[in-house]
Amino acid sequence: MSSTTDLFSSIQLGRYTLPNRIVMAPMTRLRAVGSIPTPVMAEYYSQRTSAGLIVTECTMISPMSNGYINCPGIYSPEQVAAWRQVTDAVHRKGGKIFLQLWHSGRVTHPSLLNGELPVAPSAIAATGTLHTPVGKVTLETPRALETEEIPEIIEQFRQGAVNAMDAGFDGVELHGAFGYLIDQFLQNGSNQRTDKYGGSIENRARFLLEVVEAVCQVWGSDRVGIKLSPSNTFYGMHDSNPQVTFSYAIEKLNQFNLAYIHLMEPNEDDLGTGDVLNPVISIFRPLYQGLIITNGGYDKSKGNQILGTDGADLVSFGRLFISNPDLPKRLATDAALNSPDFAKVYGRGEQDLDKGYTDYPSLEMQGS
């Protein structure tokens, strides 16, 4: 790769030629009332189709995977039909969109699960609180999955991938980050099993790799990505040797020839613990033979720098896409950026779903 590669260079990602290397990162926005995507979500994503690739917010593969109020699902016919409105809107504008498949694992509450206990690799509670139908609660101790239950969850990921295809997506990204179920199996701070899914790193990575294999059988590996966060401390996540753990997982992912892996850099809270891997990209880049998307507070200058030095292949942006629907154009022209209204990042029920969501102006609207 030459030093002239930048955010605005085209790239082949799996079977798709993307016009630029600017990825819209998956971001929870909580506008899916009753877990069914809403028309305002179609508008939101279609506003941002100038991204080389859009990755949706985390999307439930089953009722037991729910972690947040008004988070979308992909397990019912109603959800599939509603997502089709989103993908149609994106494709009408020439965009590419992957669905992020997600199971929250222990990061949920019985009030979100019809009274059932959350499931996880081990009966170890996550740290922190959660907003639920019964108010703000402390996370409870989950129920450890029985060995014979695990294939059922892998099947839910596979069926979610089938449903995503039926909904018209261009591919899927597995959420293997931020302390949710796949991550919970991988790291030994949350996985203290003694069966074939626990103990050694080979066993702890088994669930991740089996899910990847199942989803690739649906889509073909060139339309599947996975997101990992080796330095994440959300919800009390930790591992006794994260470099060894994630090095093993990432090296094993080479066998699938995925569309990409999406690596998260530590945020300020992670760095505050003082002992996380930093920077993530330079540690794991040499281990992976395919495309890597990097995420972690990038701006135009830092994004161009990491691409120009072959540190990564694409850069995903989160916060900047919240408030700038035409972010690639603004970056290309060095236009001023809208600031996000953080009080309106998350939806609050059925009222004012568009506020702080689809009402940020484009340059065209601002007369630029």
**Active site residues per annotation:** 180
CB atoms within 10 A of CB 193: 19
Report the C-alpha gap between 169 and 146 in whole angstroms.
33
Q: Say which amino acid occupies 122.
A: S
Going 84 to 85 to 87 to 88, the CA torsion angle's sign is: positive
Report the C-alpha gap between 245 and 281 in whole angstroms.
15
Residues 6+ apart with CB under 8 A from 60: 35, 66, 67, 71, 72, 73, 74, 75, 102, 103, 104
Report the C-alpha gap between 127 and 201 in whole angstroms.
23
Contacts of the segment 58-61: beta carbons below 8 A, 24+ positions apart = 58/26, 58/28, 58/100, 58/102, 58/175, 58/180, 59/99, 59/100, 59/101, 59/102, 59/160, 60/35, 60/102, 60/103, 60/104, 61/101, 61/102, 61/103, 61/156, 61/157, 61/159, 61/160
Q: Which one, of 319, 349, 312, lies nearest residue 1 by Cα? A: 312
> What 3-state DSSP class applies to 229?
coil
Q: Write out the two tokens for 80.
A: 């599939």
Say what the alpha-carbon torsion angle 315, 126, 104, 222 is, to the nearest 10 degrees: 40
Alpha carbon distances (Å) from 73 to 58, 64, 132, 162, 187: 9, 11, 17, 13, 26
CB atoms within 10 A of CB 343: 9
**CA angle, residues 337, 17, 307, in degrees to nearest 5:** 55
